[in-house]
Chains A and B, each alone.
Chain A
Amino acid sequence: MIKKRFFTMIMMAMILIIAACSDGEVKSDAEGAKSEGSTTDEKSGGSLYLGTTAAPTLFNPYYSTDTSSSTIEGFIFSGLVTVDHDFNPEGDLAEDWDVTEDGLKWTFYLRENIKWHDGEDFTADDVVFSYNIPLNEDYVGPRGLPFEVIEEINKVDDYTVEIILSEPYAPFITITAQFEVLPEHILGDVPVADLGTQRFNTKEPIGTGPFKFKEWREGEYIELVANEDYYLGAPKLDSIIYKIVPDMNTLMAQVQVGDINLAGISPEYMETAKNLEDKGIVKLESGPSNSWEYIGYNLRNDLFKDKLVRQALTHAIDKEAIVQAILDGSGTVAHGPGSPANWSFNPDVAKFEYNPEEAKKKLKEAGWEPGADGILEKDGQKFEFVLKTTSANEIRQQIAEVAQQQLSEIGIKTTIELLEWSAYVEETSPPKWNFDAIVAGWSIGSDPDPTWFWHTSEIENGLNYGGYSNPEVDALLSENTKLSDLSERKDIIGKADAIVTEDQPSTFLYNPQGHLAVSIDLHGPKFSAANTYYKIHEWYVE
């Protein structure tokens, strides 16, 4: 009897094993060309293997917010325009466009030879349909803001669309017009309230981009195959495999063994990446990132209300040492907001260089005197605060430690608090703003509009977490989005950045360098802060 039961158990186990060996994935019904692995002809074909540590969520640009989803959406869909390596707008679905002098009416002339991945023709109806989604009152998605300025969208003819704005808005061309267009013939009849949960978004996205969706294997990878009918010509790559890996260690191991042939490298893995380059496994493509890292102060806190104090804090922190010791030189010291990768960058701002003596002098001027224990005091209050950052970022933790040490040298006591990412966001963002100071970073995006970070209107619900407010900056920032002339705009943004730098609402630390590890047989990728996958249809694996 025991033998019989034992045999039955073994049989059940075998059945489970066989069941597990069969496909346990969420499969697509969408048809795509069969992957041919990585066998290639020279200068044509092959597969691009990308890796991500954060799984995508869904493929619909009006509902997704994460980088992985956006990257894949960029392969499947196209927008009216895209940006080149230097942030210049370039026609995509739109062959050309013009704007009236008052900046209110934009007319887009669409290409006529474009087909959706299911073979249908792309027309103006698709643009009118797509750009109206965020304007619909039933829309429950995160992308309302860039479309707020749109008053109406009109189809002039099958290949011409005009968009009327309620006020001039310079970022319209590089933000709003970059939004990908969805197929009206598939989604046109779906109530807008239901668009976010459509099967289309996860199982069968249909776009006009260079690659077609083939399969999403749950927890493993997303496979895209070349769109032979792509309007700029069939991509040279056969397919793109977007692998989902649990962490950067695994990702780096996969780069090393050649399972991933293109990966962005964060500063803590630069040493490993350089080793791989020395061994001839990858080549590194590098350049300035469109971002900056900073220590942000909560200006609601009495400690940080005085500009002199904030300038003193910046004087006390050795940014060059941070760049050299923590980043291994992979960044440039920042003095103000913005990034040298961006056309709007103003390098001629005030510089509060590392100078602990100057810091002490300014603090004394502001009324802070050393107490019996060496910690600065003013009106019975000690100068001590909590410096928060996220446990998910090793570099920021190290920066917090360096800042703690260097601030203690001028009599300021800091306590470091590390929070898990979600908890960190909840604590530091509206409506809590529960922090004294944070170590954080901002990315600028395809348009350099600094309104998000410094305008008073962004304090209540926006990204101006520190609560910085300066009427002069407000006026300049309000002006910047109304100018379509780039040099005039650069001038205005530069002036605003100079005032912000003088005010030091944050200690601007550095602009990181970005790095791409590219396997030696992959041709095409070039590091770009603006558009990593620019002209991806021309890339190939040798």
Chain B
Amino acid sequence: MITYIVRRTLMAIPLLFIITVISFTMMLMAPGDPTALMMDPMIKQENLEAYKEAYGLNDNVVVQYVRWLGNMVQGNFGESLIRQGVPVSELIIARLPNTLLLMIVSSVIAFLISIPLGVISATKRNSLTDYSITFVSFLGIATPNFWIGLVLIMFLSVHLGWFPTGGVSTLGGDFSILDRLHHLILPAFVLATADMAGLTRYSRSSMLEVLRQDYIRTAKANGFKNKTVIFKHGLRNGLIPIITILGLMLPSFIGGSVIIESIFAWPGIGLLFVEAAFQRDYPVIMAVVVIAATLVVIGNLLADVLYAIFDPRIEY
């Protein structure tokens, strides 16, 4: 197993390298640069040129990439082009915990809601309950979660005032876990909806598969209660493929957080990425790309490792 993990990790290095080359090239090929924000009568062309020269923006893409890569492998993401003098790492450190918190809590919500629904759906196959859960799942898959977010903000925050409209905490207030949770619930729930529907369908199929197995029939024949058979024998095995999805969900959380953080004014790296993309803050964009790509690679590795841990039949 250790050899496998090491091998996979080493394989990730060229993959990440290719991702950075493609991202960097696309980013610099896109029209516009950070000076687009400086449209002001009081700015001379010479000032803009001096700025570009000082930040190496006039160098060709290869020179800029090599310089960026050289710094990055030493753990230096450079300085923001817009927030002059502020290291990119400082911006990331300030925002990453918010994104991780959102991702973890939304994963927990997605699992806590989807798995029981999937199990109920499977055990009550072809019943009204099953059809209802299936209907809601497909509705969930078909509905963009940014729309769900906007609707919830309108009703629960603006009209009813039950939740804040955005942000991570009450401004000017002292730190409190309850306050953080109050701000967290809506965005985490909406982010969770992106995966909930799929997870419910997946856990339903997985449970149906397990319930058809001989050992379930044997357990039932041995006189175990239905509840014991489903939860002790069935669920344990049915969960194996679902848990492995955890890793595969990471990429969708990163993508989803960009949208959800924008809607809920949640200051995580998703929102940072959006801001940086509009401002053409190249070092910040690249730092987020590297982090997101690394998370995706880790997610995939995690999925494989979890599979090996939970399914003794798998060997590496």
Q: Would you give the shortest CB distance from B51 to chain A, in whole angstroms?
A: 6
For B105, what are the chain A residues with a Cβ–Cβ distance below 8 Å? 17
Say whether A196 contacts B85, CB under 8 Å: yes
Say whether A257 contacts B104, CB under 8 Å: no
Comparing B16-24, B193-201, B268-276, the segment that makes contact with chain A is B268-276
| Interface assignment of B135: CB less than 8 Å from any CB of chain A | no
For A49, what are the chain B residues with a Cβ–Cβ distance below 8 Å? 171
| Interface assignment of B151: CB less than 8 Å from any CB of chain A | no
Say whether B51 contacts A220, CB under 8 Å: no
Say whether B86 contacts A202, CB under 8 Å: yes
Across the interface, A24 reaches (CB within 8 A) one of B33, B36, B42, B97, namely B97
Q: Would you give the shortest CB distance from A138 to chain B, in whole angstroms?
A: 10
Give CA–CA (A16, B101) in the complex, Å: 7
Residue of B nearest to A220 (CB): B267
Across the interface, A5 reaches (CB within 8 A) one of B32, B45, B46, B309, namely B309
| Interface assignment of B177: CB less than 8 Å from any CB of chain A | yes
Say whether B38 contacts A219, CB under 8 Å: no
Say whether B38 contacts A65, CB under 8 Å: yes
Comparing B7-15, B88-96, B122-130, B221-229, the segment that makes contact with chain A is B88-96
| Interface assignment of A241: CB less than 8 Å from any CB of chain B | yes
For A57, what are the chain B residues with a Cβ–Cβ distance below 8 Å? 82-84
| Interface assignment of B48: CB less than 8 Å from any CB of chain A | yes
Given A246-B263, A425-B39, are A144 and B32 neighbors across the interface (CB < 8 Å)?
no
Say whether B90 contacts A220, CB under 8 Å: no
Question: Which interface residue of B108, B157, B172, B279 has the most chain A CB atoms within 10 A?
Answer: B172
Say whether A25 contacts B94, CB under 8 Å: yes
Give CA–CA (A259, B183) in the complex, Å: 14
| Interface assignment of A422: CB less than 8 Å from any CB of chain B | yes
Given A21-B101, A49-B171, A145-B42, are A140 and B85 neighbors across the interface (CB < 8 Å)?
no
Give CA–CA (A452, B77) in the complex, Å: 38
Residue of A nearest to B268 (CB): A219
Q: Which of B48-107 contact A (CB under 8 A)?
A: 48, 50-51, 54, 79, 82-86, 90-91, 93-98, 100-101, 104-105
Give CA–CA (A220, B91) in the complex, Å: 12
Across the interface, A58 reaches (CB within 8 A) one of B84, B175, B309, namely B84
For B46, what are the chain A residues with a Cβ–Cβ distance below 8 Å? 144
Say whether A461 contacts B97, CB under 8 Å: no
Say whether A218 contacts B267, CB under 8 Å: yes
Say whether B83 contacts A247, CB under 8 Å: no
Q: Would you give the shortest CB distance from A75 to chain B, in whole angstroms?
A: 17
What sequence of 0s and 1s flags, for each residue 393-429 of chain A, a beta carbon within 8 Å of any chain B beta carbon? 0000000000000000000000000011111111101
For A422, what are the chain B residues with a Cβ–Cβ distance below 8 Å? 31-33, 36-37, 278-280
Q: Would you give the shortest CB distance from A329 to chain B, in whole angstroms?
A: 27
What sequence of 0s and 1s flags, for each residue 214-258 of chain A, a beta carbon within 8 Å of any chain B beta carbon? 000111110100000000000000010101111101100110110
Say whether A253 contacts B157, CB under 8 Å: yes
For B47, what are the chain A residues with a Cβ–Cβ distance below 8 Å? 140-145
| Interface assignment of A445: CB less than 8 Å from any CB of chain B | yes
Say whether A253 contacts B153, CB under 8 Å: yes
Say whether A21 contacts B177, CB under 8 Å: yes
Say whether A246 contacts B278, CB under 8 Å: no
Comparing B137-145, B158-166, B207-215, B286-294, the segment that makes contact with chain A is B158-166
Say whether A142 contacts B42, CB under 8 Å: yes
Give CA–CA (A35, B174) in the complex, Å: 10
Given A35-B172, A196-B85, are A24 and B98 neighbors across the interface (CB < 8 Å)?
yes
Say whether A425 contacts B32, CB under 8 Å: yes
Say whether A250 contacts B172, CB under 8 Å: no
For B177, what are the chain A residues with a Cβ–Cβ distance below 8 Å? 21
Residue of A nearest to B154 (CB): A253
Say whether B36 contacts A421, CB under 8 Å: yes
Say whether A199 contacts B85, CB under 8 Å: yes
For A217, what are the chain B residues with a Cβ–Cβ distance below 8 Å? 267
For B309, what are the chain A residues with a Cβ–Cβ distance below 8 Å? 2, 5
Give CA–CA (A123, B127) in the complex, Å: 83
| Interface assignment of B40: CB less than 8 Å from any CB of chain A | yes
| Interface assignment of A20: CB less than 8 Å from any CB of chain B | yes
Give CA–CA (A420, B33) in the complex, Å: 12
| Interface assignment of A47: CB less than 8 Å from any CB of chain B | yes
What sequence of 0s and 1s flags, for each residue 172-208 of chain A, a beta carbon within 8 Å of any chain B beta carbon? 0001000000000000000000001111011000000
For A141, what are the chain B residues with a Cβ–Cβ distance below 8 Å? 47
For B40, what are the chain A residues with a Cβ–Cβ distance below 8 Å? 65, 142
Say whether A198 contacts B85, CB under 8 Å: yes
Across the interface, B45 reaches (CB within 8 A) one of A244, A253, A430, namely A430
For A372, what are the chain B residues with a Cβ–Cβ distance below 8 Å? none
Question: Which interface residue of A23, A25, A63 has the most chain B CB atoms within 10 A?
Answer: A25
Give CA–CA (A55, B310) in the complex, Å: 46
Say whether A425 contacts B172, CB under 8 Å: no
Q: Would you give the shortest CB distance from B57 to chain A, in whole angstroms?
A: 12
Across the interface, A257 reaches (CB within 8 A) one of B32, B82, B157, B271, namely B157
For A146, what are the chain B residues with a Cβ–Cβ distance below 8 Å? 42
| Interface assignment of A156: CB less than 8 Å from any CB of chain B | no
Q: Which of B163-187 contact A (CB under 8 A)?
A: 164-168, 171-173, 175, 177, 180
Give CA–CA (A427, B85) in the complex, Å: 29
Give CA–CA (A17, B168) in the complex, Å: 13
Give CA–CA (A23, B175) in the complex, Å: 8
Say whether A250 contacts B165, CB under 8 Å: yes
| Interface assignment of A366: CB less than 8 Å from any CB of chain B | no
Give CA–CA (A223, B170) in the complex, Å: 13
Question: Which interface residue of B46, B94, B265 has the most chain A CB atoms within 10 A?
Answer: B265
Say whether A445 contacts B85, CB under 8 Å: no
Across the interface, A2 reaches (CB within 8 A) one of B41, B108, B168, B310, namely B310
For A420, what are the chain B residues with a Cβ–Cβ distance below 8 Å? 31-32, 278
| Interface assignment of B262: CB less than 8 Å from any CB of chain A | yes
Give CA–CA (A26, B31) in the complex, Å: 31
Say whether B271 contacts A246, CB under 8 Å: yes
Given A24-B95, A38-B172, are A250 and B265 neighbors across the interface (CB < 8 Å)?
yes
Say whether B43 contacts A55, CB under 8 Å: no
Question: Which interface residue of A141, A142, A219 has the most chain B CB atoms within 10 A?
Answer: A219
| Interface assignment of B30: CB less than 8 Å from any CB of chain A | yes
Say whether A254 contacts B166, CB under 8 Å: yes
| Interface assignment of B44: CB less than 8 Å from any CB of chain A | yes
Given A20-B100, A20-B101, A219-B267, are A246 and B274 neighbors across the interface (CB < 8 Å)?
yes
Give CA–CA (A26, B40) in the complex, Å: 29
Q: Would you give the shortest CB distance from A67 to chain B, in whole angstroms?
A: 10
For A243, what are the chain B residues with a Cβ–Cβ distance below 8 Å? 167, 171
Q: Would you give the shortest CB distance from A89 to chain B, in whole angstroms?
A: 17
Q: Would you give the shortest CB distance from A5 to chain B, in whole angstroms?
A: 6
| Interface assignment of A99: CB less than 8 Å from any CB of chain B | no
Give CA–CA (A244, B48) in the complex, Å: 27
Give CA–CA (A430, B38) in the complex, Å: 13
| Interface assignment of A66: CB less than 8 Å from any CB of chain B | yes
Residue of A nearest to B107 (CB): A13
Say whether A26 contacts B94, CB under 8 Å: yes
Give CA–CA (A125, B304) in the complex, Å: 67
Q: Which of A115-157 contact B (CB under 8 A)?
A: 140-146
Given contacts A202-B86, A249-B150, 4 further A-B contacts (CB under 8 A): A20-B97, A142-B42, A198-B85, A419-B31
8 pairs, CB–CB < 8 Å, chain A vs chain B? A57-B82, A58-B83, A143-B47, A196-B85, A197-B85, A259-B164, A422-B37, A463-B41
The 9 nearest A-B residue pairs measured at CB: A422-B32, A219-B267, A197-B85, A20-B101, A461-B45, A423-B31, A218-B94, A20-B97, A425-B36
